[in-house]
């Protein structure tokens, strides 16, 4: 196989804005051969704009024309489409979050294993230069043993007023499942997949349920808004680490910011912007990194990792089992908020010994 034949399922914002341009940049190893969308007109427009030969009305008809698909539909359809593709022997790059529930995510992984196919989830924050640098610093043990992590994925007044982001039936949640999940995934990856044992969470929708909310990202109906716009959580891990988490689409704060900091026994780091905090020679040292211009776009790096994994040339960076852990944590955060109690997670039997 020289070039991977790629199909696009769901031809909306993320397909047009990230995946299709990324695959076009990598035309030496991938060709987009087909596109499908329940909105046939949109699929045809996209096919014409990006010179894609086949347009399908039903996604299963596409499988015979492709080696892999990229799933860019609302979250509700991720599992159903991914499993059908995998059962047809087609590799899958699925947009985040992996699925609506842990059970769906598990079924996706089983289908990938059963059919010996690649299943990748688009947690692209891992491919940002700052995150790659942080991973190297951690692997080289520059901050000792990590024990406290703080995550904030915060927007002041940016509830997405387009698409279906505020529709619980189609998306499963709001700010957590849309934005917070990226930082949760990044934190777990940087920490080397610690096993979560207990989760406390609270979700809010107070601002978005208020009529006439001042919002920078378009308008939405406050009466039908039924997802979270602000979420907090405290997660503890079997190895004693803890993670303080907060995300929001609509917080009354001074400005938007994305923060991920880790404190370890020998030092600490911040990912955005990348900084390293250490103590050396009897003094406190702060180092910052200059991210070089001309770094490839994260979407391209993500696409290349998926293509190379499909072609058997490299390992996936985002393992589906890791993406499943993010889904399990988000489910626990929502459950904790609903019940008002913490949620204990069953870790694997071998860890419990
Ligand atoms: N990685 C990121 O940072 C990021 C950013 C935005 C969106 N996303 C994810 O991408 C996915 C799509 O988001 P979007 O912003 O592109 O939404 P969008 O609304 O712009 O596009 C979704 C498209 O899917 C189509 N569609 C709906 N149901 C379908 C079905 N059953 N089969 C085929 N097509 C279907 C719609 O007609 C639409 O064209 C979501 O899972 C979202 O969470 C990820």
pLDDT of residue 223: 93
CA distance 124 to 72: 14
Of 16, 73, 155, 177, which is best to mutate to test ligand 1, by the most ligand atoms within 8 angstroms of its C-beta?
Answer: 73
Confidence of residue 296 (pLDDT cuts 50, 70, 90): confident
Looking at every residue in the chain, the average pLDDT score rounds to 96
CA–centroid distance, 161 to ligand 1, in Å, is 14
**Position 347 pLDDT exceeds 90:** no
Of 14, 44, 94, which is best to mutate to test ligand 1, by the most ligand atoms within 8 angstroms of its C-beta?
Answer: 14
The atom of ligand 1 lying closest to the CA of 16 is 16
So what CATH class is 4-121?
Answer: alpha beta
Spell out which residues line ligand 1, taking CB within 6 angstroms: 9-15, 36-39, 42, 59, 72-75, 77, 95-96, 122, 124, 163-164, 178
CATH placement of domain 126-297+327-352: 3.30.360.10
Could you tell me what percent of the chain has a pLDDT over 90?
A: 95
CA distance 166 to 163: 8
pLDDT of residue 349: 47
Whether the Cβ atoms of residue 217 and residue 160 lie closer than 8 Å to each other: yes
What does the pLDDT look like over 132-169, one tens digit per residue? 999 999 999 999 999 999 999 999 999 999 989 999 99
What are the boundaries of each domain within the chain? 4-121, 126-297+327-352
**Position 272 pLDDT exceeds 60:** yes
CA distance 166 to 209: 11
CA–centroid distance, 140 to ligand 1, in Å, is 38
pLDDT of residue 165: 93
SS3 assignment, position 71 = strand
What does the pLDDT look like over 188-223, one tens digit per residue? 999 999 999 999 999 999 999 999 999 999 999 999
CATH fold match for the domains 4-121 and 126-297+327-352: no
pLDDT of residue 353: 47
Confidence of residue 352 (pLDDT cuts 50, 70, 90): very low
For residue 350, with 0-12 CB atoms within 10 Å meaning exposed, 13-18 middle and 19 or more buried, which class applies? exposed
**Position 348 pLDDT exceeds 70:** no
CA–centroid distance, 275 to ligand 1, in Å, is 34
Taking the model in full, what pTM does it have?
Answer: 0.96
């Amino acid at each position: 196989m020289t070039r991977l034949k790629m199909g696009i399922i769901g031809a909306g914002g993320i397909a047009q804005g990230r995946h299709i341009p990324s695959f076009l940049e990598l035309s030496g190893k991938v060709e987009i051969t087909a596109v499908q969308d329940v909105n046939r007109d949109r699929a045809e427009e996209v096919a014409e704009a990006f010179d894609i030969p086949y347009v399908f009305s039903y996604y299963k008809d596409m499988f015979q024309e492709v080696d892999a698909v990229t799933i860019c539909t609302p979250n509700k359809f991720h599992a159903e489409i991914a499993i059908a593709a995998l059962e047809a022997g087609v590799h899958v790059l699925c947009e985040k979050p992996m699925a609506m529930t842990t059970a769906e995510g598990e079924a996706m992984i089983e289908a990938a294993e059963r059919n010996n196919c690649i299943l990748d989830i688009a947690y692209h924050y891992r491919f940002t230069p700052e995150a790659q640098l942080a991973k190297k610093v951690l692997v080289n043990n520059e901050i000792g043993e990590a024990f406290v992590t703080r995550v904030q994925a915060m927007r002041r007044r940016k509830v997405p007023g387009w698409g279906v982001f505020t529709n619980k039936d189609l998306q499963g949640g709001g700010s957590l499942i849309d934005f917070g999940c990226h930082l949760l995934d990044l934190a777990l990856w940087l920490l080397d997949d610690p096993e979560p044992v207990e989760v406390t969470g609270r979700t809010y929708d107070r601002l978005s349920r208020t009529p006439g909310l001042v919002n920078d990202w378009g308008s939405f109906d406050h009466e039908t808004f039924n997802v979270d716009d602000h979420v907090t959580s405290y997660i503890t891990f079997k190895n004693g680490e803890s993670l303080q988490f907060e995300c929001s689409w609509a917080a009354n704060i001074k400005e938007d910011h994305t923060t991920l900091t880790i404190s370890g026994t020998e030092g600490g780091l911040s990912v955005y912007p990348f900084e390293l905090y250490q103590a050396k020679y009897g003094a406190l040292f702060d180092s910052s990194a200059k991210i070089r211009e001309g770094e490839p776009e994260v979407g391209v790096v993500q696409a290349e990792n998926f293509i190379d994994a499909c072609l058997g040339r490299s390992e996936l960076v985002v393992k589906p089992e890791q993406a499943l852990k993010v889904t399990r944590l988000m489910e626990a955060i929502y459950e904790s908020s609903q019940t008002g109690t913490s949620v204990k997670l069953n870790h694997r039997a071998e860890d419990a010994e």
